Amino acid sequence: MHVTMTVNGEQVSAEIEPRVLLVHFLRDQLRLTGTHWGCDTSNCGTCVVAVDGEPVKSCTMLAAMAGGHDIRTVEGLADGATLDPVQEGFMQCHGLQCGFCTPGMMITARTLLDRNPNPTEDEIREAISGQICRCTGYTTIVRSVQWAAAHSGQEVQA
């Protein structure tokens, strides 16, 4: 079947199998490998992308269902050499260790900050509650999002 969607600001079209998951479409057909594929059961949240500004576990969505929608992956956070404050926050506050959950965490953080530019610690923890990080204990992830909230609107060069 034919599908067309906007991914990171660019319209893409492709022929796909009706059963292909969005995570596989992004990784295998578009080569956007920043979206990680973890548990395949929708438990871990490493595959989170933004669909029309909402965080979605891309292992639970068929690529065909994404047709006509706006998809944002971790590759779409930076604007050229200008990092998104979320990306910079994860660097500044050591919000990652192994990095496997990081792309999904960053997308979730960006969607939270787009809706609520000054979230509380509890709001941040609730937003990321659907994602598993086995390395950090979440403290540095929360600090990273708080850093991003405090520095949003400022350009950060990579």
Shared domain check, 56 and 20: yes
pLDDT by position in tens, the chain (length 158): 999 999 999 999 999 999 999 999 999 999 999 999 888 778 788 899 999 999 999 999 999 999 999 999 999 999 989 999 999 999 999 998 888 899 999 999 999 999 999 999 999 999 999 888 888 889 999 999 999 999 986 554 44
With 0-12 / 13-18 / 19 or more C-beta atoms within 10 angstroms meaning exposed / middle / buried, residue 90 is: buried
**Number of domains, the chain:** 2
Cβ atoms of 37 and 46 closer than 8 Å: yes
Domain finish residue from 45, 76, 107: 76
The CB-side HSE value for 26 (13 A sphere, CA atoms) comes to 32
Residue 143 included in any domain: yes
pTM of the model: 0.91
d(CA 105, CA 110): 9
Range of the domain at 37: 2-76
Residue 158 included in any domain: no
